[in-house]
Amino acid sequence: MRDPGRSHDVSALTAGELERIKRDIQVSLSLAWPDSPARVPMLAHLSAVDAELAERGDREHADGGLCAGASRGRNRRAGWPERTLPSLSS
């Protein structure tokens, strides 16, 4: 069983994986009622994915496109900060 206090690291995911996750979350949000409490963790996850993609985009622009083909774990090896999702425990 998953540890509810554990943060989820999204920095080790590739850009393609992050884009797929983002689309999946957006689909889930479109199926949830506007006032549903289920939207809270979905929005938190979407925010973390968007922040990681934006940070990579900024880095890619500053580095001349070097992180565009980043593989799993490359961010950590490059010394980039880890982006995590907030814990879902209350």
pTM of the full predicted structure?
0.60
Tens digits of per-residue pLDDT, 60-71? 667 665 444 444
Beta strands in 1-90 (DSSP E): 8-9, 84-85
Res 13: pLDDT: 86
Tens digits of per-residue pLDDT, 11-53? 888 889 999 999 999 999 999 999 999 999 999 999 989 989 9
How far is the C-alpha of 77 from the C-alpha of 90, rounded, in Å?
33
Domain map (residue ranges) of the chain? 10-79
Please, is 75 exposed, middle or buried when counting C-beta atoms within 10 Å of its C-beta (0-12, 13-18, 19+)? buried
How far is the C-alpha of 74 from the C-alpha of 13, rounded, in Å?
9
**Sequence-separated (6 or more) residues with CB below 8 Å from residue 72:** 12, 13, 14
For residue 60, give the amino acid letter: E
Cα–chain-centroid distance for residue 57? 13
